[in-house]
């Protein structure tokens, strides 16, 4: 079974944010043959990619206010780069402190190296699942669909964890098992089943949805709390699962505004966005709070908080084999 796309892993991240670059360092540490990456290793990697012309993304990350690297001296560039790498490793140190036994790495005593844990427990593999799901471009193509489908399964489990035991939680998206899923058939059939479950009424005309449409209309996970009757007006949660940076725009696809065009709602549903990213600054605050639009955001940290006692189901997922294979894959990256 294929693992990391080593060729892609040579390329620097394309998005800004300390959390993005910290992920990249963790991936390099996982894949590197000695299970370790130092600041000097990473500085060499940056210099190598700079020499290949891969610098535009790094410019924005290091100093958005700079007039341009062409106007900086080599010494100034070196100082800025070292300062930025220091901040990324400080971010990794924060992760080690906050994820505790779920974190599959450790920082050296001087903080200059990230080291892969010699024993990869199931808790640590759980973290690796989110790391891989947040960085699909560095996975071989054969793995990506499995990871995204299983991310819906894990999102369902996270939603179940903070609803009462009597709540109903289902996958509405394509990650649902075709044989045992609650919502099967084409999109029109699934919408009508959902409306019946919620005691609501479908208002979108049938001719507005193709009979060949087997998608999910932007809804991946749904949960509701039954109140002892068949009437409308339930506590409803609608969720979108996204493993790419496009989640910012996709989060509204499961909103009350979007789904009010499809069916009635006596009570406004709550919108939830599930993402595998650690969408945080080094102090735990949101990286860009303005990107969260009227939704409860469940990121990597909240996932592990919600499922800290329920991670064992990971072994039953198809992604577990991917994890096992990728953890065995070791390449001399430096």
SS3 call for 45: helix
Can you give the pLDDT at residue 66?
A: 34
Q: How much is the pLDDT for 176?
A: 72
pLDDT in tens, 65-79: 333 434 445 555 577
Left, alpha or beta for 68 (phi > 0: left; psi -120 to 50: alpha)? left
CB 168 within 8 A of CB 223: yes
Instruction: Tell me the domain boundaries of the chain.
Output: 6-141, 151-313
Distances, alpha carbon 153 to alpha carbons 138, 148, 181, 260, in Å: 22, 9, 11, 25
More confident site: 330 or 166: 166
153 vs 47, residue with greater confidence: 153
pLDDT classification of 173: cutoffs 50, 70, 90: confident
CA distance 140 to 142: 5
pLDDT for residue 69:
38
Instruction: Report pLDDT for 75.
Output: 59
Backbone angles phi, psi at 315, to 5 degrees: -65, -20
247-267 residue pLDDT tens: 999 999 999 999 999 999 999
pLDDT digits (tens, 9 = 90+) for 102-114: 999 999 999 999 9
DSSP per residue over 245-276, as a string?
TTHHHHGGGGSHHHHTTTB--SSPPEEEEE-S
Residue 118: φ, ψ to 5°: -70, -30
46 vs 151, more confident: 151
Residue 275 confidence (pLDDT): 98
Mean pLDDT across 31-42: 93
Q: Which two tokens stand for residue 291?
A: 């990107």
Environment class of residue 208 by beta-carbon count within 10 Å: exposed (0-12), middle (13-18) or buried (19+)? exposed
CB 241 within 8 A of CB 222: no
């Amino acid at each position: 079974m294929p693992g990391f796309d080593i060729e892609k892993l040579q390329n620097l991240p394309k998005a800004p944010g300390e959390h993005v670059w910290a992920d990249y360092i963790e991936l390099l540490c996982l894949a590197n043959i000695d299970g370790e990456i130092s600041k000097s290793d990473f500085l060499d990697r940056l210099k190598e990619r700079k020499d290949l012309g891969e610098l535009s993304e790094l410019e924005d990350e290091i100093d958005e206010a700079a007039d341009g690297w062409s106007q900086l001296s080599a010494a100034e560039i070196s100082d800025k780069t070292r300062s930025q790498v220091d901040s990324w490793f400080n971010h990794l140190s924060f992760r080690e402190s906050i994820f505790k036994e779920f974190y599959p790495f450790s920082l050296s005593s001087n903080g200059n190296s990230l080291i892969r844990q010699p024993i990869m427990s199931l808790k640590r593999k759980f973290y690796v699942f989110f790391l891989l799901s947040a960085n699909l471009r560095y996975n071989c193509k054969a793995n990506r669909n499995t990871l995204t489908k299983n991310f819906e399964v894990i999102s369902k489990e996270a939603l179940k964890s903070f609803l009462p035991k009597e709540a109903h939680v289902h996958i509405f998206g394509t990650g649902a098992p075709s044989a045992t899923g609650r919502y099967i058939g084409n999109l029109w059939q699934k919408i009508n089943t959902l409306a019946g479950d919620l005691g609501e009424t479908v208002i979108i005309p049938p001719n507005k949805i193709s009979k060949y449409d087997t998608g999910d209309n932007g809804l991946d996970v749904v949960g509701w709390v039954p109140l002892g009757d068949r009437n409308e007006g339930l506590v409803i949660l609608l969720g979108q699962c996204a493993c790419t940076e496009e989640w910012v725009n996709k989060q509204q696809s499961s909103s009350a505004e979007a789904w009010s065009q499809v069916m009635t709602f006596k009570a406004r549903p709550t919108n939830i966005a599930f993402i595998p990213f650690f969408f945080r600054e080094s102090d735990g605050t949101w990286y860009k709070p303005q990107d969260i639009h009227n939704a409860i955001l469940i990121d990597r940290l909240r996932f592990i908080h919600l499922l800290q006692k329920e991670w064992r189901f990971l072994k039953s997922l198809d992604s577990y084999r991917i994890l096992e294979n990728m953890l065995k894959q070791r390449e001399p990256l430096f």
